[in-house]
Amino acid sequence: RRDYVGILVLRGEGVFTDWRDRAWRVGPGDFIQHPPDLRHSVVPASTDWAEFYFRFPAAPYRALDELGLIDARPVLHPGLSAELVQRMEQLLAEARGAVRSDLPLVLVRMHELLVAVQRMARHAGRRERERSVIDLACQRLGERLSEACDLAQLADDLGVSYERFRKLFGQHVGQSPGEYRIHRRLDAARRLLRHEGLTVKETAYRLGYPDPFTFSRQFKRHT
């Protein structure tokens, strides 16, 4: 097939085999790309498979590619946002009601949809990377609670600037890294006090506080 074809999986699961014979498991929110002149196959693995697809000639696709607007990976992951579904519905409505003189505009709408899918996939990928950074940060902040934690060093270990780390952490977790660390220490304190029967003094020193008074003040302030 000499055209470009884009398929957004709406429902069900299947296997996409690309032009290099690599198999990709695909499901809702995945976007499958068939570049011009390359063979491929899509095999639904479930009976409830549903997809939205669009097709246009190779020349516009190559022009977009030359402009650096195309991520040519076989499968992207834009998700199924309300914005994307609305764009598909609008394109489908325009295509169904189009007469011959309308076809150039429909083609432009297809190009716009492709660029939008590519943009959403990039954003989704960035959010996934951010989420993995924050998940790892949460894990690290919940460990070695009796030791001092250098947040700037933690950010550096995670490959982001300290300011960027604080901003991302606040967006994803709803509190600063320092506050998160305090709450994890206090969670541990409650377990020690309630289940292991430690005194306030023993708990304070077990968790690395300089003295029981500092621990008590923080415990009362946050609990």
Phi and psi, residue 99, nearest 5°: -100, 175
Query: Residue 7: its pLDDT value, please?
Result: 94
Q: Residue 54: what pLDDT?
A: 92
What single letter denotes the amino acid at residue 219?
F
- Looking at residue 191, its pLDDT comes to 92
The 10s digit of each residue's pLDDT in 150-203 is: 999 999 999 999 999 999 999 889 999 999 999 999 999 999 999 999 999 999
Q: Is 30 exposed, middle or buried (0-12, 13-18, 19+ CB in 10 A)?
A: buried
Distances from the Cα of 168 to the Cα of 72, 125, 132, 181, angstroms = 29, 15, 11, 16
Q: Which pLDDT score is estimated for 158?
A: 92
Both tokens assigned to 184: 């994890």
Q: Which residues of the chain have pLDDT under 70?
A: 1
